[in-house]
């Protein structure tokens, strides 16, 4: 095949090498505008795992690259006067220039024609003379622009500013992050050694800080001097150097996140940064470029036509690119939002930084550096008041809210059972909640319990509006208190426009087939075209509902619940006031967020007045309507939480969605946790995270990184009431209390999951 590689970066060169390795007869020319040793940038990093893939493709080039590696295992973080070091991270660095020289040598050896100082203006023109053109022309790919209609690139210019510098100061013992507070805001550096005497030193800051420093108007030299002053304490008198002669001005950039919808057009295929980029903070751009090169070479030899090879290549690489881009996005956003975390204790800050891409799990950190993680866990337990010597996972740390002491951080999230009779809980509820309370979670929520018959969602929903309801709930609460050390929280709500609907396992949210009752809400809206339109509440309705809440709270207090939650989420009555999607009122309860919060806050104040002062109240909110600008967005949720905090709400239960049928949620593991993280770290308010959290590792990493104070699991507790006790057994934690009649089962489980038997093990 006659092949042209447009661009002599890692992608173009490694593709040429990989093709020659598979068939020496290919006629391959690499066109590169620069001279052979003329390169911007400093060093690149590879993780150990990445390098194995490359070594398998071409052992000789891998060996020569490896011979030039600078290795390090530790990550060091300078923050608030402390240097925290953790190990086991396994990285290597190499000068970009060295890498390219080695790849050039290898390509020459294999018979690739390398043409330097050759600018290609049109891949389309080139394509007329070759069977295949590989457009590996980098971040600012001309080819991508030339065929923009075909490739359909999405380019997202990110908000932080960064500059890629080098230094002779040694950072040879650890990949180093330095966070420095200046008069103009925080500035931070990512520094790593890549050869015997040079280190990469990437400086990054927010746009606002960058503006205040006036970096935009500086020459590259002035910019280096300014950065030297900022990081003087870490540079040991060494200079910072720029080699970005190809960039005009100060050389500061905004990172462009690129993803093309299509990667090939006729006989032209995009590769490396031209097709997709991954943020530099996870150091995977070169890896992606080189692995894509191998993949393309493979398919060109396994598939009968170019078209088929392109299709397979794009299919295989897109998945990998999306996976890496997702991790890179998490990492990039962490740095974009870093000012949110700059009040964290150095231990927690470090943990948050190390787990920022969400690729490194809690237990994986233990494999990397057990003593560091043990220290971090001990810090967490100490801060939670568990005593000085406790080394247990964060999920087993106690929490105090007012006078409520929770034994651990796992919560059974509220889940409607639809098994009530006329609002009255039955034996089903006694057994259901009793089992969950025996299962080890520190806090068990009861389902949304409604303050009136018409405030129920379905005919099967529980209520708190008749004396027999109070008595039935008291029986359940008494059982939980007598037989377990779990605490129990009463979630109170009113269904609003989502009321008078079928049981959860029938047609959810659909009107009843017969016997519908009238519903009311903030405004005259309907949940869906099939549902009835609610009556807009007038002041008399609002007074009546407030008194219903107050009466229900008095009953919940007498029933002995330990905690109360007001359900202001998921499109029910109080939520219908908060979200502009359903609040169209023209009075003082509609319009601004302040106005829309007025009624929920009025209910909270009325309820707080009758709920025992020693017991906490939480509020569940939908932190994102998932409809974009028209609805509540996470930044509004921060404002909502601030209002709740000022009103005296003890903890915000951060859910999302279910407020509109227009919602388009972005699901995934722990998908709502970022909202809890944002609220907690921007307001300082305690939070609960919920939503697709299902592994102990998720719980531990959320807590340890300071993304929430409690973690709610709903569906996992339907599948396994003993989720917490089982998790503890699996993790080798022997500190959780089992019900005495179950000791024999506990001991067997402990034996089966390895580790020592508990001291208290007794045969009955
Ligand atoms: C600050 C920063 C730090 C980074 N750190 C790392 C890291 O630690 N690890 C990592 O793996 N990656 C890192 N990267 C990313 C990495 O540099 C790129 O992902 C990688 O170089 C992509 O390889 P490529 O071959 O696709 O593109 P490039 O390396 O950009 O190569 C493209 C080549 O094409 C040439 N070219 C372009 N247009 C033409 C034309 N019209 N005619 C002729 N020649 C042309 C260019 O001169 C260039 O040599 C970093 C990037 C940045 C910005
Ligand atoms: C069967 C079922 C019933 C639910 N009922 C309620 C409820 O009564 N009140 C509430 O706030 N959330 C309710 N939810 C939402 C859960 O509390 C939780 O927020 C959601 O299921 C996401 O958590 P998960 O991924 O752990 O299941 C319910 C969820 C399920 C699966």
Please determine, for residue 581, whether its predicted confidence score (pLDDT) is greater than 80: yes
Ligand nearest to the CA of 33: 1
**Ligand 1: residues within 6 Å at CB?**
6-12, 31-34, 41, 44-45, 119-120, 136-139, 142, 164, 202, 272-274, 280, 283-287, 289
How long is the chain? 764
Q: Work out whether the CA dihedral 61, 64, 68, 74 comes out positive or negative.
A: positive
Q: What's the whole-number mean pLDDT along residues 329-333?
A: 91
The pLDDT value recorded for residue 422 is 97
The pLDDT value recorded for residue 327 is 87
* Distance in Å, CA 108 to ligand 1 centroid: 20
* Distance in Å, CA 255 to ligand 2 centroid: 38
pLDDT in tens, 199-249: 999 999 999 999 999 999 999 999 999 999 999 999 999 999 998 776 667
Please determine, for residue 718, whether its predicted confidence score (pLDDT) is greater than 70: yes
What DSSP line would sit under 457-519, residue for residue? SSTT--BSSSHHHHHHHHHHHHHHHHH-S-EEEEEEE--GGG-SBB-TTSSBTPBPSS-----
Q: Is the CB of 439 under 6 A from ligand 2?
A: no
Q: Which candidate, 647, 656, 698, 648, places its Cα nearest to that of 678?
A: 656
The pLDDT value recorded for residue 389 is 67
Look up the pTM and report it: 0.91
Alpha carbons 295 and 282: distance in angstroms, whole number: 21
Alpha carbons 294 and 32: distance in angstroms, whole number: 20
Ligand nearest to the CA of 444: 2
pLDDT in tens, 450-501: 999 999 999 999 999 999 999 999 999 999 999 999 999 999 999 999 999 9
The pLDDT value recorded for residue 757 is 47
Query: Residue 694 CA: which ligand 2 atom is closest?
Result: 26
Q: What's the whole-number mean pLDDT along residues 328-340?
A: 93
Alpha carbons 437 and 486: distance in angstroms, whole number: 6
Q: What residues are annotated to the active site?
A: 572
* Per-position b or e across 419-446, b if 16+ CB within 10 A of its CB: bbeebbbeeebbebbbebbbbbbbbbbb
Q: Which candidate, 567, 458, 579, 451, places its Cα nearest to that of 523?
A: 579
The pLDDT value recorded for residue 391 is 81
Ligand nearest to the CA of 621: 2
Residue % of the chain over a pLDDT of 70: 98
Q: How far apart are the first and last CA of the chain?
A: 78
| Two tokens, residue 31 | 């066109």
Kindly list the distances between the CA atom of residue 31 and the CA atoms of 102, 153, 385, 583, in Å, as whole numbers in the listed order: 17, 23, 64, 61
Using a 10 angstrom Cβ sphere, with 0-12 exposed, 13-18 middle and 19 or more buried, the burial of residue 2 is exposed
The pLDDT value recorded for residue 117 is 96
Q: Is the CB of 567 under 6 A from ligand 2?
A: yes
* Distance in Å, CA 179 to ligand 1 centroid: 27
The pLDDT value recorded for residue 247 is 67
DSSP-derived pairing of the beta strands 710-713 and 687-690: parallel
Q: DSSP secondary-structure letter at 237?
A: T
Query: Residue 567 CA: which ligand 2 atom is closest?
Result: 11
Q: What are the two backbone dihedrals, phi and then psi, of residue 108, each rounded to the nearest 5 degrees?
A: -60, -45
Please determine, for residue 764, whether its predicted confidence score (pLDDT) is greater than 60: no
- Lowest-confidence pick of 538-552, 682-696, 742-756: 742-756
Instruction: Tell me what the pLDDT averaged over the chain comes to.
Output: 94
Q: Is the CB of 416 under 6 A from ligand 2?
A: yes
The pLDDT value recorded for residue 128 is 97
Helix 634-647 crosses helix 593-610 at what angle (to 10 degrees)?
40
DSSP-derived pairing of the beta strands 153-157 and 256-260: antiparallel
* Distance in Å, CA 412 to ligand 2 centroid: 10
Q: What's the whole-number mean pLDDT along residues 138-162?
A: 95
Q: Is the CB of 269 under 6 A from ligand 2?
A: no
Please determine, for residue 759, whether its predicted confidence score (pLDDT) is greater than 60: no
| Two tokens, residue 184 | 């103009």
* Distance in Å, CA 246 to ligand 1 centroid: 13
Kindly list the distances between the CA atom of residue 438 and the CA atoms of 141, 236, 318, 434, 627, in Å, as whole numbers in the listed order: 61, 59, 46, 6, 40
pLDDT in tens, 500-547: 999 999 999 999 999 999 999 999 999 999 999 999 999 999 999 999
The count of other CB atoms within 10 Å of the CB of residue 303 is: 15
- Lowest-confidence pick of 67-81, 575-589, 702-716: 67-81
- The best mutation among 70, 101, 285, 291 to test binding of ligand 1, ranked by most ligand atoms within 8 Å of the C-beta, falls on 285
* Numbers of helices and strands, H then E, in the chain: 26, 31
Element (H, E) at 282: none
Ligand nearest to the CA of 668: 2
| Residue found under tokens 């095949």 | 1
The pLDDT value recorded for residue 250 is 75
Question: Greater confidence, 288 or 465?
Answer: 465
* Distance in Å, CA 62 to ligand 1 centroid: 19
Alpha carbons within 13 A on the beta-carbon side of 148: 9
Query: 724 pLDDT band (50/70/90 cuts)?
Result: very high
The pLDDT value recorded for residue 314 is 94
The pLDDT value recorded for residue 388 is 65
| Two tokens, residue 314 | 């794009």
pLDDT in tens, 602-649: 999 999 999 999 999 999 999 999 999 999 999 999 999 999 999 999
């Amino acid at each position: 095949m006659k092949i042209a590689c447009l661009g002599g970066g890692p992608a173009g060169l490694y593709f040429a090498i990989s093709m020659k390795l598979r068939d020496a007869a290919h006629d391959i020319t690499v066109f590169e505008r620069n001279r052979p040793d003329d390169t911007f940038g400093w060093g690149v990093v590879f993780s150990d795992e990445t390098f194995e893939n490359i070594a398998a493709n071409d052992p000789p080039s891998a060996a020569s690259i490896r011979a030039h590696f600078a290795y390090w295992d530790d990550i060091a973080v300078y923050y608030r006067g402390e240097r925290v070091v953790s190990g086991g991270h396994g990285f290597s660095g190499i000068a970009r220039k060295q890498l390219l020289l080695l790849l050039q040598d290898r390509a020459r050896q294999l018979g690739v024609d390398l043409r330097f100082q050759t600018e290609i203006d049109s891949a389309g023109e080139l394509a007329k003379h070759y069977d295949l053109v590989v457009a590996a022309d980098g971040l600012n790919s001309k080819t991508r622009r030339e065929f923009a209609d075909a490739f359909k690139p999405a380019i997202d210019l990110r908000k932080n500013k960064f500059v890629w510098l080098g230094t002779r100061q040694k950072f040879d013992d650890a990949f180093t992050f330095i966070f420095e507070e200046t008069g103009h805001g925080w500035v931070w550096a990512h520094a790593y050694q890549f050869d015997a005497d040079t280190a990469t030193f990437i400086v990054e800051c927010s746009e606002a800080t960058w503006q205040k420093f006036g970096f935009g108007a500086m020459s590259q030299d002035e910019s280096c001097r300014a950065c030297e002053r900022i990081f003087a304490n870490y540079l040991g008198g060494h200079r910072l150097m720029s080699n970005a002669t190809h960039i005009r001005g100060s050389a500061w950039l905004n990172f462009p996140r690129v993803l093309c919808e299509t990667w090939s057009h006729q006989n032209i295929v995009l590769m490396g940064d031209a097709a997709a980029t991954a943020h530099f903070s996870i150091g995977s751009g070169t890896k992606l470029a080189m692995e894509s090169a191998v993949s393309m070479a493979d398919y060109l030899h396994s598939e009968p036509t170019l078209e088929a090879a392109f299709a397979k290549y794009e299919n295989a690489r897109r998945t990998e690119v999306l996976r890496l881009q997702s991790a890179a996005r998490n990492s990039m956003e962490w740095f974009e939002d870093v000012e949110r975390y700059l009040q964290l204790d150095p231990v927690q800050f470090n943990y948050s930084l190390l787990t920022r891409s969400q690729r490194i799990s809690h237990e994986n950190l233990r494999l990397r550096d057990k003593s560091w993680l043990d220290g971090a866990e001990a810090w967490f337990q100490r801060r939670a008041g568990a005593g000085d010597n406790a080394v247990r996972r964060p999920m087993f740390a106690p929490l105090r809210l007012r006078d409520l002491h929770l034994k651990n951080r796992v919560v059974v999230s509220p889940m409607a059972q639809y098994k009530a009779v006329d609002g009255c809980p039955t034996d089903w509820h006694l057994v259901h909640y009793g089992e969950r309370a025996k299962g080890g979670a520190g806090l068990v929520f009861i389902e949304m319990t409604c303050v009136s018959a018409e405030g129920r969602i379905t005919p099967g929903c529980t209520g708190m509006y008749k004396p027999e309801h109070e008595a039935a709930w008291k029986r359940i609460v008494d059982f939980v208190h007598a037989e377990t050390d779990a605490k129990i929280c009463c979630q109170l709500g009113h269904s609003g426009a989502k009321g008078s609907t079928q049981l959860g396992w029938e047609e959810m949210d659909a009107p009843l087939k017969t016997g519908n009752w009238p519903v009311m809400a903030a405004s005259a809206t309907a949940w869906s075209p099939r549902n009835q339109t609610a009556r807009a509440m007038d002041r008399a309705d609002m007074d009546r509902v407030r008194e219903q809440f107050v009466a229900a709270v008095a009953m919940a207090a007498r029933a002995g619940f330990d905690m109360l939650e007001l359900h202001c989420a998921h499109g029910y009555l109080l939520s219908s006031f908060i979200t502009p999607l359903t609040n169209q009122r023209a009075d003082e309860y509609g319009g601004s967020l302040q106005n829309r919060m007025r009624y929920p806050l009025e209910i909270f104040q009325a309820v707080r007045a009758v709920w025992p002062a020693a017991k906490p109240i939480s509020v569940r909110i939908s932190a994102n309507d998932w409809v974009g600008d028209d609805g509540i967005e996470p930044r509004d949720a921060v404002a909502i939480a601030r209002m709740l905090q000022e009103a005296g709400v003890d903890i915000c239960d951060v859910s999302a969605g279910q407020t509109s049928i227009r919602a388009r949620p972005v699901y995934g593991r722990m998908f709502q946790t970022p909202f809890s993280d944002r609220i907690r770290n921007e307001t300082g308010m305690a939070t609960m995270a919920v939503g697709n959290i299902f592994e102990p590792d998720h719980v531990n990493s959320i807590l340890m990184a300071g993304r929430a104070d409690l973690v709610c699991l709903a569906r996992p507790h339907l599948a396994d009431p003993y989720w917490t006790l089982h998790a503890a057994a699996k993790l080798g934690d022997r500190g959780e209390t089992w019900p005495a009649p179950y000791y024999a089962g506990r001991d067997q489980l402990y034996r089966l999951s390895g580790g020592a038997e508990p001291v208290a093990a007794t045969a009955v």
